[in-house]
Amino acid sequence: NAGVMQNPRHLVRRRGQEARLRCSPMKGHSHVYWYRQLPEEGLKFMVYLQKENIIDESGMPKERFSAEFPKEGPSILRIQQVVRGDSAAYFCASSPLRAPSDNEQFFGPGTRLTVL
């Protein structure tokens, strides 16, 4: 039973380009969470999605960032027109059920985005 998969593991982009980060949840999990870890900072919540629905996007920057979790395929975190401040590790987690049940989140290995 594979864990949460993220790809690419490392992504380098130049300022102004687009970054697409993919997350495949664990088998049987229909809830996906995206978190960002800026250099030397703690993890911060970005967005929570169920299949085809955004449940909570209160942590997403207002511009350039979007997320989706289609019926088929992985969840995608998309950053348009990247800037140097977007350089960070982006982690995805998945869970089988929705809170507040006894609901553990399982983390992927992260995608390290570097903006030149």
Partner 1 sequence: KNEVEQSPQNLTAQEGEFITINCSYSVGISALHWLQQHPGGGIVSLFMLSSGKKKHGRLIATINIQEKHSSLHITASHPRDSAVYICAVRGINTDKLIFGTGTRLQVFP
Binding site for partner 1 (CB under 8 A): 31, 33, 35, 41-45, 48, 55-56, 58-59, 89, 91, 98-100, 102-107, 109-110, 112
> Do 1 and 27 touch, CB atoms closer than 8 A?
yes
> With respect to partner 1, which residue has the nearer C-beta, 53 or 80?
53
> With respect to partner 1, which residue has the nearer C-beta, 50 or 81?
50
- The least distance separating partner 1 from the CB of residue 32, rounded to whole angstroms, comes to 11
> By C-alpha distance, which of 37, 3, 32 is closest to 113?
37
- The least distance separating partner 1 from the CB of residue 6, rounded to whole angstroms, comes to 10
How far apart are the C-alpha atoms of 112 and 29, rounded to whole Å? 23
- The least distance separating partner 1 from the CB of residue 41, rounded to whole angstroms, comes to 7
> With respect to partner 1, which residue has the nearer C-beta, 43 or 76?
43
> Do 36 and 87 touch, CB atoms closer than 8 A?
no
> With respect to partner 1, which residue has the nearer C-beta, 16 or 36?
36
Quote the Cα angle for 115-63-40, to 5°. 45
The number of CA neighbours under 13 Å toward the Cβ of 87 is: 11
- The least distance separating partner 1 from the CB of residue 67, rounded to whole angstroms, comes to 13
Scan for tokens 């664990």, then name that residue.
26
